[in-house]
Chains A and B, each alone.
Chain A
């Protein structure tokens, strides 16, 4: 049982490049989330998907897009990366009983 799997684990981008962070869960959860964590800070919600086919903005959605591809997969896209998007990105899924997190993607934009 893998839980929540994120790819890649590490990524370096140049300013202006685009990329997609992938997330998949095998717990049959309806809700999925993308968070970012900056050094010394808590997690801030970027986007979430309450169920397959729906997505909503969180606290810090600017500069990001998401796709809920199916019940298992929820991707996060940076169309034109900026240094301010350097962060650790976490994907999570939840159902009644709490949320479970992936291992994180450390993204550096230079």
Chain B
């Protein structure tokens, strides 16, 4: 089955800094999604990005499916960006989404 690895596991930033989070996956995928889990435990969709690049405000994501990785960029970080960022990958044939172990981000004021 699909294996999903995320790096780094932990990240501490000063407010205003930029960061890049990485997600590697073991097999070809048709579905790749990034989530933010806020301190209250809620899972928030950030991007559905099986390939290509998308941007939403200060966040952007790029998936290179042929090389089996995806990147999440956070620019000008804010304290409200703190939480855990997960990527999840799946193949449309099985409809299974497998999650990585996450990157725990703390943004300091």
Task: Give A contacts to B, CB under 8 Å.
Answer: 31, 33, 35, 41-45, 48, 50, 56, 58-59, 88, 90, 92, 94, 97-101, 103-104
Contacts and interface: CB of A to CB of B under 8 A. Distances in A.
Interface of B: 1, 31, 33, 35, 41-43, 45, 48, 86, 88, 94-102
B95 A48 contact: yes
Instruction: List the 9 shortest-distance A-B pairs measured between CB atoms, nearest first.
Output: A98-B48, A101-B43, A50-B95, A43-B99, A42-B101, A42-B99, A31-B95, A98-B33, A42-B102
14 contacts: A31-B95, A42-B86, A42-B99, A43-B86, A43-B99, A44-B99, A45-B99, A59-B1, A94-B95, A97-B48, A99-B45, A99-B97, A101-B35, A101-B42
Contacts of A35: 99
A100 to B, nearest CB: 7
Interface residues of B, dominant DSSP: strand
In this complex, the member of A90, A98, A101 whose beta carbon has the largest number of chain B beta carbons within 10 angstroms is A98
